[in-house]
Amino acid sequence: MILDLHNHSVASDDARAKVENYCQWIQRREMPLDGFVLSEHRQFDGVSDYRDLEDRFGLVILKASEVETEYGHVLVFGVNDDLQSAFDFSSVKLSLEAVLRESQRCGAIAVPCHPGRPRVGMAAHFDTLGPVEGVTVIETLNGGSRGRENEIAIALAEQRGYKGIGGSDAHIVSHIGRCATRIERKIESMDDLVGALKEGDCEAVSYK
C-alpha cells in the first residue's frame, strides 16, 4: 500500500485544507495513494470521524500528531488515552527522549520528521545536544522540504541505520501526494501502521 504519512487539515493552526477536499483531489488526479494520515500540530484529534469519507472515496484515513521537542518536530503514530496523559501535546518544549519512551510504553511510535530542516529538524541539534537513543524511523522524504533538506535526512538514515518514511507535509490540498510511504502489507488501522513501522516495513517514495 502507498500511504502519505504526514498531512495537516484545518484543525491545524496553519493549514487550510479540508479532509474531504484532500479525498476529492486524490480521486480527481488519480493519485496512486491508498490513504493518508492527518498529523495535526501539537494536538490529537480524537473526535473527527472519517469513516464516511473512507467509504465514499475508497481511502484509508488515519490520525496521528506532530509534536515539538528540543530536537525538532516529531510525528507520533498510535496516540491513545494513555499517551495523551503521559505528556502535554500542546507544549513546544517536550523532551524527545520522553516522547520516544512514552510512545514505546503506550504502544505507539515516534518518528522525527523533516530531520534535515534548520531549527525544527533533528540533525540541526546533534552538534549541541548529541544523538538520541531510541530513534528507529525518521521521515527521509518530506514534500515541503527545500534545498538539501531531504538529502540530509537520507544521509542521516544511512549513517545511523534508521528506516525511512515519506510524507507530503501538506497544508493545502494541492500538496498532498508529493511524498509517501510504501508498505508491503494491508493497512486498515493505526495499529496496522504502527506494527509495520516498528518492524521496519516502510519505504519512502517521492512523486514530486
- Quote the pLDDT of residue 21: 97
Q: Is 139 exposed, middle or buried (0-12, 13-18, 19+ CB in 10 A)?
A: buried
Q: Which three cell numbers stand for residue 86?
A: 503521559
Average pLDDT over residues 97-103: 98
**Main-chain dihedrals φ then ψ at residue 172, nearest 5 degrees:** -130, 155
Average pLDDT over residues 165-187: 98
* Pair 137, 109: CB distance under 8 Å: yes
Domain that holds residue 153: 2-206
Number of compact structural domains in the chain: 1
Model confidence at 13: pLDDT above 90: no
**Global pTM exceeds 0.95:** yes
Residues near 200 by Cβ (< 8 Å), separated by ≥ 6? 136, 137, 163
The CA distance from 20 to 26, in Å, is 10
| Per-residue pLDDT reduced to its tens digit, 138-166 | 999 999 999 999 999 999 999 999 999 99
Burial 37-65 (b: 16+ CB within 10 A, else e): bbbbbbbbbeeeebeebbeebebbbbbbb
* CATH number where 195 lies: 3.20.20.140
Count CA within 13 A, CB hemisphere, residue 178.
Answer: 20
The residue type at 62: L
- Quote the pLDDT of residue 40: 96
Secondary structure class of 187 (helix, strand, coil): coil
- Quote the pLDDT of residue 131: 87
| Per-residue pLDDT reduced to its tens digit, 101-139 | 999 999 999 999 999 999 999 999 998 999 899 999 999
- Quote the pLDDT of residue 178: 98
Q: Which three cell numbers stand for residue 67?
A: 509534536
| Per-residue pLDDT reduced to its tens digit, 34-73 | 999 999 999 999 999 999 999 999 999 999 999 999 999 9
Average pLDDT over residues 202-207: 97
The CA distance from 27 to 83, in Å, is 34
Q: Band of the pLDDT at 15, cuts 50, 70, 90?
A: confident
The CA distance from 33 to 100, in Å, is 28
